[in-house]
Amino acid sequence: MDDVLRDSAERLSESQREFVESLAHELKTPLAAIIGLADTLLRKQEIDPSTRTRFLEKISDQAVRLSSLLDDLLTLSALESSADALRLEALDLREPVAAALQDLVPVAEEKGLALKIDLPVEPVSIQGDAKALRRLVGNLVDNAIKYTEYGGSVWLRVSTADGSTAIEVEDTGVGIDAAHQAAVFERFFVGEKGRSQERKGTGLGLALVKQIARVHGGDVTLSSTPGRGSTFRVRLPLTASSKT
């Protein structure tokens, strides 16, 4: 028994250590940029005004990146530790989905991607937290856009069947190796080196999706072919009145 407990404690402390190391790395990268840019401005008093402005904008962007990372981290921590982290109430799933898309349609357009949306005509009634669901959809579509090159397509489909609703986000992007598919839902997944840094993610987006789906009584699955694209599928229970 002691051995089992000790093993379990060692595994926990190993995973805590890995988490702290990953977090330190994710914090250090924007911090290094902020410190480097600020140092440069302080060191070079005669710097030209346009460079000065560009450096200040970069400092601001990196500070926002740090702030988003901490927001994601706190939300994730709340979701993992408490069943009451979200306020579930009756809502039409199409509303948070539409709200998330509002922000992302221009991003897809700017990148030259076709964003195709397929929502049910009838309301999709679930017990949910609108803000969290907006975030869930936003993270999935944002990822699809990030990992799909110019000229590709991203689909968002919401459907209902057998007492549950499915949110599917499909893309024609770079895809994910079979070996890494389970790990993408881990915090700070770095299976594919540099994936997160290269695309400016916080490394927490899919971990949040998984926890938000779980707190809603649902789950998230992934199917993907490297080079062809990925499909993330979130299944959530419908409220009794809207079950088909």
32 vs 105, beta carbon nearer another protein: 32
Q: Residues 53 to 92: which contact another protein by CB under 8 A?
A: 58, 62
Confirm or reject binding of residue 197 to another protein (CB under 8 A). yes
Rounded CA-CA distance 206/85 in Å is 18
Pairing of the two strands 164-171 and 153-161: antiparallel
61 vs 168, beta carbon nearer another protein: 61
Confirm or reject binding of residue 143 to another protein (CB under 8 A). no
214 with 52: CB under 8 angstroms? no
187 vs 210, beta carbon nearer another protein: 187
Site string for another protein, 6-45 (x = CB under 8 A): ---------------x--xx--xx-xxxxxxx-xx--xx-
Residue 224 CB burial class (10 angstroms; 0-12, 13-18, ≥19): buried
Rounded CA-CA distance 49/136 in Å is 41
Confirm or reject binding of residue 195 to another protein (CB under 8 A). yes
Q: Three-class SS of residue 116?
A: strand
Which residues of the chain form contacts with another protein (CB under 8 A)? 21, 24-25, 28-29, 31-37, 39-40, 43-44, 51, 58, 62, 193-195, 197-198
